[in-house]
Amino acid sequence: MSDSIRISVDAMGGDKGPRVAVEGARLFWRERKNTTFIFHGREAELKPLLDEFPDLKKVSRIVNADIVISMEEKPSQALRKGRGTSSMWAAIQSVKDGEADVAISGGNTGALMAMATFCLRPIEGISRPAIAALWPTLRTDIIVLDVGATVGGDAKQLTDFSILGAALARALFDQELPTVGLLNVGTEEMKGHDEVKEAARILQAASGEGFIYHGFVEGDDIGKGTVDVVVTEGFAGNIALKTAEGTARQVGAYIRNALKADIISMLGAAIAGQALQALRRKLDPRNINGGVFLGLNGVVIKSHGGTDEVGFKGALSLAYEMARSRVMDKIGEGMRRFPTLSVAPPIEAAPAPEKTEAKSA
């Protein structure tokens, strides 16, 4: 990969049209001018937008794609409709063809996962890809996965997610031995269903080789930042993610209402202005927008479909860091280190009987 980071953008994905993608790219490029963009979508809509921003236009090109995948389409429908022709598929194909280092889309999550899996294919040894999210905590940012790709998960999948999450932590956080915890209904060893317990057994046996297995963690451990990587299946992970986003908005609304309650509150808000601005930024979900599709032969970022240009800029920042930190190399290293981590050891065959030479009569 060259010094320039090449980002492939599905400009038609998302609820608010291509302007969000273009304006988000403009905001991002102001801070990271070693970035170039490939915008996939309807040229008739994209060209006038890029004409508004000549500096961005100089580092961008448009690849026309008339087919747009809607938010309502099922993954199977999206594949039939858009394979090879849609803006979403074209953005992913650019990564496969080596034209871009990372792809990003704010479109239909199920369709994006289906297309990414079909186009890029899972890494050898990984049973299912996962969506990983960066999560702010009281300690520092951590990684939580899966947050929506796989509903339900067996021991192998949870182990795979642990390998992928640890590799991402090593790449983004520069940690040699990130700590990994399995999300469970309690921290005691006897709690949880059999698949979680089996995954715990496998991870405990491998602890110290690329990660440290912490043990089971509970829901409140996510916000505390107890471990660097929290692993769960997609059903629980997605609920946790949406709950956290909703709670952040709720707390933000409480604070705004409290500061407007009376003249004393407004005066206090004026005095504590800088501190309150920092708190607002911390609680703003747009600043942590973006999920990483892990376990594929290429990097794809999912932006929230309803975000604005500030949120899309945040997802582009994540895409940039994924490319800059060479996360695919780190994942490959992890897979080489644990080629059979989630596979039971083979049963040793009984030794063959020794041959004896027949004595002549």
At 87-99, the pLDDT tens digits run 999 999 999 999 9
Give the burial string for 168-185 (b: 16+ CB within 10 Å, else e): bbbbbbeeeebbbbbbbe
- CATH number listed for the domain at residues 128-287: 3.40.718.10
pLDDT in tens, 202-255: 999 888 888 999 999 999 999 999 999 999 998 888 888 888 878 877 877 887
Kindly report, residue by residue over 47-105, the tens digit of the pLDDT: 999 999 999 999 999 999 999 999 888 989 888 888 888 999 999 999 999 999 999 99
Q: At 5, phi and psi to the nearest 5?
A: -95, 125
Rounded to two decimals, the pTM is 0.81
Beta-bridge partner residues of 216:
182
CB contact at 8 A, 83 and 115 = yes
For residue 206, the model assigns a pLDDT of 87
Higher pLDDT, 257 or 18: 18
Per-residue pLDDT, 1? 45
The confidence score (pLDDT) of residue 269 equals 66
HEC profile of 26-45: HHHHCCCCCEEEEEEECHHH
Note the pLDDT tens digit of each residue in 270-302. Answer: 776 666 566 566 656 666 778 899 999 999 999
Residues 118-166: tens digit of each pLDDT = 999 988 888 788 999 988 888 888 999 989 888 888 899 999 999 899 9
Those residues whose C-beta lies under 8 Å from the C-beta of residue 111, and which sit 6 or more positions away, are 69, 73, 74, 75, 78, 79, 82, 88
| CATH dotted code for 1-121+296-327 | 3.40.718.10
The chain-wide mean pLDDT, for the chain, equals: 85
Contact present, 177 and 264 (Cβ < 8 Å): no
Encode pLDDT of 180-193 as tens digits.
Answer: 999 999 888 888 88
Say what the pLDDT of residue 230 is: 97
Confidence of residue 5 (pLDDT cuts 50, 70, 90): very high
**CB < 8 Å & 24+ apart, contacts of 132-136:** 132/164, 132/165, 132/168, 132/291, 132/292, 132/294, 133/241, 133/288, 133/290, 133/291, 133/292, 134/172, 134/288, 134/290, 134/318, 135/222, 135/230, 135/244, 135/288, 136/282, 136/288
Please report the pLDDT score of residue 341 as a whole number. 52
Report whether pLDDT(258) > 80: no
Kindly list the domain boundaries of the chain, sorted by start residue. Answer: 1-121+296-327, 128-287
| pLDDT value of position 202 | 92
